[in-house]
Amino acid sequence: MAEIRVENLVKQFDAFTAVRDTSFTVPDGDFFCLLGPSGCGKTTTLRMVAGLELPTSGRIHLDNQDVTFKRARERDIAMVFQLFALYPHMNVRRNIAFPLVSVGTPKKEIRRRVDEAARTLRIEHLLDLPVSGLSGGDRQRVALGRALVRQPKAFMMDEPLGALDAEFRHIMCGELRAMHDRLKATTVYVTHDQLEAMSMADVIAVMNGGCIEQLAPPQEIYDRPASIFVGEFIGSPAMNFLRFEGAVELGAAQVTVGGIRVAIPAPREGRPSGPLALGVRPEHVGLVSEGGIRGEVIGIEYLGTNQIATVVTTHGMVKARLPASDAVSLGEPVGLAFRSTKLSLFAGDTGKVIRSA
Ligand code: ADP
Ligand code: MG
């Protein structure tokens, strides 16, 4: 297995820049996720690492070996696609064996490796069945098996669970992660689904417009988003952003915006000028009858164990996740209170974080 190091990768398609100056390192054995909306450059980045696309500039290292100009099959990286092309007329065993057969691996070795892959994926009982009758999840396992038998240096997966329904995707996420923990194979996983990324990745790179906006473990991405974009993209419902114009007082241990004291130390250097946005997750918003930022409840969504109240204020719309037992009614005037240790302050114009509590 291998460490992957990507340095200042750029990819242009004519005048259009799909990937801009992207750098990251995936330590040997890590599960790394490229996460972002459609069109942000995830697939292009993955294809460059796999050797299916030549970068316009930048370098790619596999285990300290520069592979930037090496062809895909010399890199020893396995790709797993969403639209896995299994051979419908072959059974599971022959489908998994195919990459080994095509390079002339001895029969005994093929049998050993296919059995091993099937054991890892828990599909031994399917080996003699035709793939045509398999469920989506089992087909996905066979596709993984086919990647696995090659014993590659690393796995590249491009939205491999995209074709599955939500419930099955959730199960497969758990299985993929469990398989990763057994194999300890360096994996780069592309998805636009934040839940997939959050539940599986050791480290997530959140991409936007060809750039990595933040590169950090899931918890940090969630708690301390580097930008408004990341806060909005991660979490359901998304992070709230209250907009403030001026009226900012900076203290050593707190910032006061719109009369609200926020326990965020002021930036050490420079005063933020221009508009500001205060970011807070819905689960850290409470409703109070007196004081707070005043607003009116305009929506209530029951979710069983809790409920989401939508409150309109002069600083924007705010969603609060509350216990289902709380009495809230539409049209009710309320105040918003925030858990002050869970706030972030963003520059309203650039969207970049200034400080997190
Ligand atoms: P993602 O996988 O994040 O959805 P892609 O990496 O597929 O994004 O694409 C990033 C951008 O580059 C998109 O705007 C896409 O249209 C463009 N793009 C991708 N491949 C090509 C290509 N071969 N020629 C021209 N533009 C491309
Ligand atoms: Mg893609």
Name the least confident of 86-95, 169-178, 305-314: 169-178
pLDDT for position 249: 64
Pocket probe mutation, ligand 1, options 11, 42, 44, max atoms within 8 Å of Cβ: 44
Q: Name the residue with the closest Cα to ligand 1, atom 16.
A: 39
Q: Write down all domains in the chain, each with its CATH number in brackets.
A: 4-225 (3.40.50.300), 237-356 (2.40.50.140)
For residues 117 and 95, the answer to whether their CB atoms sit within 8 Å is no
What average pLDDT does the segment 282-308 reach? 94
- Per-residue pLDDT reduced to its tens digit, 156-201: 999 988 877 788 788 888 888 988 888 888 999 999 999 999 999 9
Q: Name the residue with the closest Cα to ligand 1, atom 24.
A: 13
> Binning pLDDT at 50, 70 and 90, where does residue 95 land?
very high
**pLDDT for residue 286 is more than 70:** yes
Q: Which two tokens stand for residue 157?
A: 């997966």
Cα 272 to its chain centre, rounded Å, is: 30
- Position with higher pLDDT, 174 vs 107: 107
**pLDDT for residue 274 is more than 80:** no
Widest Cα–Cα separation across the chain = 77
Cα 129 to its chain centre, rounded Å, is: 35
pLDDT for position 307: 97
- Position with higher pLDDT, 77 vs 254: 77
> Any idea which ligand is nearest the CA of 38?
1
Angle (deg, nearest 10), helices 107-121 and 92-101: 130
Pocket of ligand 1 (CB under 6 A): 13, 16, 18, 36, 38-44
Averaged pLDDT score across all residues of the chain:
90
Q: How far is the CA of 41 from the centre of ligand 1 (A)?
A: 6
Burial class (CB in 10 A: 0-12, 13-18, 19+), 252: exposed
> Binning pLDDT at 50, 70 and 90, where does residue 255 land?
low
Q: Name the residue with the closest Cα to ligand 1, atom 20.
A: 44
- Per-residue pLDDT reduced to its tens digit, 16-73: 999 999 999 999 999 999 999 999 999 999 999 999 999 999 999 999 999 999 998 8
Q: How far is the CA of 158 from the centre of ligand 2 (A)?
A: 7
**pLDDT for residue 247 is more than 60:** no
Q: What is the pTM of this model?
A: 0.90
- What percent of the chain lies above the pLDDT cut of 90? 62
Q: How far is the CA of 313 from the centre of ligand 2 (A)?
A: 37
